């Protein structure tokens, strides 16, 4: 059975929905659990004119605080909470390789129209992962 689950979280309200599933999966398998959140880099111009300095640093700090809360909820040690900066799909797959995850859990939105053509993070993970991927269908947005 699975030995190491990597939970990819966008740290939005969708995360709450996924937490129960992740917890159950871990309970069923007795697997180790790691968390990954990716901060996408911002275009390289200054946001100082908006009165915001080092916006990327702030985003990383906010992400760190949120993932720590999630880590407490799911009892994941800080050393197994990963924050990466870069392209989301690439970084999730990199960490999955590094920690030797054998299951990645992520959410999946029902998509249609343009966003279906552009593809979702879940799709990208599914096509690039060397291990199994559990895509949890998220409730429709109202
Ligand atoms: P999306 O289709 O891009 O809305 O995202 C679907 C799922 O991909 C989310 O429910 C997360 O599991 C994962 N995901 C999306 N963005 C990120 C991110 N920045 N860091 C980690 N996981 C993410």
| pLDDT per residue of the chain (142 residues) written in tens, 0 to 9 | 899 999 999 999 989 999 999 999 999 999 999 999 999 887 766 666 666 667 788 899 999 999 999 999 999 999 999 999 999 999 999 999 999 999 999 998 876 666 665 568 998 999 999 999 999 998 876 5
pTM: 0.91
Q: Provide the 8-state DSSP code for 16.
A: H
Structural domain that includes position 105: 4-137
What's the CA-to-centroid distance between 9 and ligand 1, angstroms? 6
Total tally of structural domains belonging to the chain:
1
CA distance 56 to 118: 25
Residue 122 lies in a domain: yes
Structure tokens at 22: 């992740």
- Extract the tokens encoding 62: 């906010």
CA–centroid distance, residue 35 to ligand 1 (Å) = 12
**24-33 burial code (b ≥16 CB/10 A, e <16):** ebbeebebbb
Domain CATH for 131: 3.40.50.620
Nearest atom in ligand 1 to 107's CA: 10
- Encoded tokens for 42: 């911002």
User: Angle of helix 55-74 relative to helix 14-29, nearest 10 degrees?
Assistant: 40
Q: Is the Cβ atom of 22 under 6 angstroms away from ligand 1?
A: no
């Amino acid at each position: 059975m699975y030995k190491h689950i990597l939970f990819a979280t966008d740290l939005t309200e969708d995360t709450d929905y996924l937490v129960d599933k992740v917890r159950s999966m871990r309970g069923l398998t007795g697997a180790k659990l790691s968390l990954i959140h990716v901060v996408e880099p911002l275009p390289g111009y200054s946001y100082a004119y908006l009165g915001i300095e080092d916006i990327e640093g702030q985003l990383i700090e906010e992400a760190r605080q949120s993932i720590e809360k999630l880590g407490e909820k799911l009892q994941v040690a800080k050393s197994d909470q990963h924050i990466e900066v870069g392209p989301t799909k690439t970084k999730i797959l990199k960490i999955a390789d590094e920690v030797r995850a054998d299951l990645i859990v992520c959410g999946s939105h029902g998509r249609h129209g343009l966003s279906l053509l552009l593809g979702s993070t879940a799709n990208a993970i599914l096509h690039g992962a060397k291990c199994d991927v559990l895509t949890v269908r998220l409730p429709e947005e109202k």
